[in-house]
Chains A and B, each alone.
Chain A
């Protein structure tokens, strides 16, 4: 089917098989490979993107379900000058990543959290990241990074 999705402000038009998953539209059609496929079973959260501003796991959303809607991926966060988003800067400053595979999903889930709750407690950050797994087990610094980013506001 024909889909038209606004990805990071840019319109992506494609004629894809009906069963195409959003993550494959992003990676294979739009060429945005920052969104990772981890477990592919909606458990790990590595494929998290924002759909109309709210975090979703793009391995469990059809491209057709995103037709006509806004998607933001990790590539869409830095501003026009290349200045990183405050959550990206906080992950950098707090060493909130080790191998980096979960990081795009962690950052997108964190941005969704901060949009809903600009001043989360540590417990609220941990609850909000329940859907994102870090197999390096770098959770403490990830939580610190999200709290630091919230404090920047």
Chain B
């Protein structure tokens, strides 16, 4: 009914999550989010905004409005290549890139990220490899990326891979740190730590949570 004749789905206030903005703003320096004047400088600076489902300016507005589901499922946050052009230009000094990261982390934690989309898959594979070996090996990373996202791509890239191999710029050897145990014990301590405060933590800090 809502998408009748191409009208966008209207979100009513009752469908919004009013504590979403506080969650995102709980990252260090994140409270600047509330000073956004919606000037659109971020969207103008962003080299990828023409390809995004929502522009960075829209994402900021949606976070403040509490459009939790749409933001976490959007491709925008993942398309952000972290070039920091928006953060540098923002007249209100909002760390937009870090807000994108916060949304990505929430989406991963809650499993809300877009499926069959290469970018979160790459992030996950990269994370797993570094967790285990302490270093990333580009050849293995790309193999896993293609197998898990789009196996056809694997064949498209085979030629490039072969050229890189012949030029000595890619190899099959796994790169790894020597003291893997040491690294693992460092990371293990932070297993359950997150910089974004959960709704329960926000509530205990006295923020109004619905």
Partners in one complex: no
